[in-house]
Every structure is written in structure tokens, then in C-alpha cells.
Amino acid sequence: MRVQSLWRYPVKSMQGESRHELRIGSHGVVGDRSFGVLDLGPRTVISAKREGRLLDASARIAPEGLRVTLPDGREFAPGTGLDDSLSTWLGRAVALIDAASLGAATYECQEDFEDDESPSVQWEGPEGSFVDESALHLLSSAELEQLTRERPELQWDARRFRPNVVLDTEGGAFVTGESGWKVRLGEAEIEIVNNCSRCVMTTRPQPGSLERQLEILRHVSRVHGNDVGVRARVILPGTVRVGDFVEVRD
């Protein structure tokens, strides 16, 4: 196996950035989900699980710091200008917040993924980052290829699944189902903890001609037990690069 692609998402639920190199720290990819959009009313961190429009914005970490681009093309650094523009766009009072200052965040999604108006379900994430559950998310190219063979009419784009690492796996190997694997990624070492249960995020429309496709999640749930990819924890921090060999250890 080799590392096929690497991804970082500086602001939770916004478009991220494809990277040639990532630094994996003790709590995951450095700079990944380190910011979020806080709803100043209920004090929840907004996710595209509930507010799909967030996927129309993008975020990157430039040499001078975080930069957020809104759907109208305007780019902002963190500050009042960004907060005011986000509030106007989303139609509610919000502010960009960093994970280090908030602690464990509260998120929400709709009860029924097929109905955006269904009641909300809330949960609390871990501290230190605005990830939903674990430090890292991995996906294999073989899994995307298999899904494409099963339902070629659907758009099985890796961006729907928002992985940190996509592995180019020889012989059609999957990573889903391999809980307990210890994996060497470049200089870093990680342990696969459990499968990644999928949610409404996979069905959302995104820039770049990705359509709303509810059948994505219906198929994954019906045929694959709702699992695609895996979640992992960091054992040894280090740098990983596209093209690095991936070593599985007992």
C-alpha cells in the first residue's frame, strides 16, 4: 500500500485542502478541524450534517494563517469581517472559533437523513479538535472502486467521505473491518480503532458538480452495514507524504 492522497479540513464542514504532506500530531493532523462555526444562540458548532451550505465555503492554511473563502468568492482572515459575513450568509448570529478555546463541542444533525426538517439529535465531540469522534479517518481506493462497480450511476468521490488519508491498496484490499491494525504512515504510526459509520454528509451536494444523492447513504447502509473507511488514533506523531509506503504491523 501507498499513500494516494492527503486531506486537511481547517474549518469543520467547509471544503478542505489536498496536501502533498501532512504533519500528524498526537491528536491528529495538525490544523485539521481546528476551527469551527459557532452558533451563538444554542452554542453548538455547526456541521454540514445539519447545515449543508457550509460545504459551499472553503478553508486553507496559508503562510500568514487561516483563510476562509465564502461562496461569493470573498476571502477573509479570522475576525469581525468574517463573523459578520458568515452571519449574514447563514441567517443567524455565528462566529468562527478555534477548538483550543472551546473545549469539547456540541454538534447536531437531523434525526432522519432524508428529511432536513426532521428533529435534531445532539452529541458531544472530543476536546482539542472539532472532529466528530477520532483523530484520523482513512479510506482505501479499493473501497471507492468497489462502490463504483456496485452503483456506477452514483458519484463515489472521496470528497463525500472527507478522509485525511486515502490509501492506494494493491490487490483490492479494504481497510474497513481491520480494527486493531497498527499502521506505519511515513514517519507516523497509528492504530485503527473502528469502522467509520457514514452519515448524511455523504449525500450532500458540493462544489465541483457533486449532486445531492441520497442513494449514496441508502446503498452504503443496505450493502455495507453503513461502514466505509476507518477511524484511527495516533501512536507516534510524524510527517506523512503522498507516495509514502504504508506498512501494517502486528
CB contact burial 134-153 (16+ within 10 A = b; e otherwise) = bbbbbbbbbbbebbeeebee
Q: What is the pLDDT of residues 147-183, one digit of tens each?
A: 999 999 999 999 999 999 999 987 666 676 667 789 9
Residue 93 CA neighbour count, 13 Å, CB half: 4
Give pLDDT, residue 141. 92
Looking at the DSSP bridge assignments, the partners of residue 169 are none
> Do residues 32 and 131 make contact, with C-beta atoms less than 8 angstroms apart?
yes
Rounded mean pLDDT of 107-117? Answer: 73
Give pLDDT, residue 174. 65
Burial class from Cβ neighbours inside 10 Å (0-12, 13-18, 19+) for residue 239 reads: middle
Cα gap 88→79, rounded to integer Å: 14
Give pLDDT, residue 18. 96
Closest CA to 9 of 156, 141, 162: 162
Give pLDDT, residue 177. 61
pTM above 0.85, yes or no: yes
Domains of the chain in start order, with CATH, are 2-249 (2.40.33.20)
Phi, psi (deg, nearest 5) at residue 241: -130, 150
Q: What is the pLDDT of residues 22-77, one digit of tens each?
A: 999 988 999 999 999 999 998 889 999 989 999 999 999 999 999 999 999 999 99
Rounded mean pLDDT of 224-233? Answer: 94
Give pLDDT, residue 123. 62
What does pLDDT average to over the chain?
91
**Cβ-proximal residues to 211 (8 Å cutoff; 6+ apart), any chain:** 155, 205
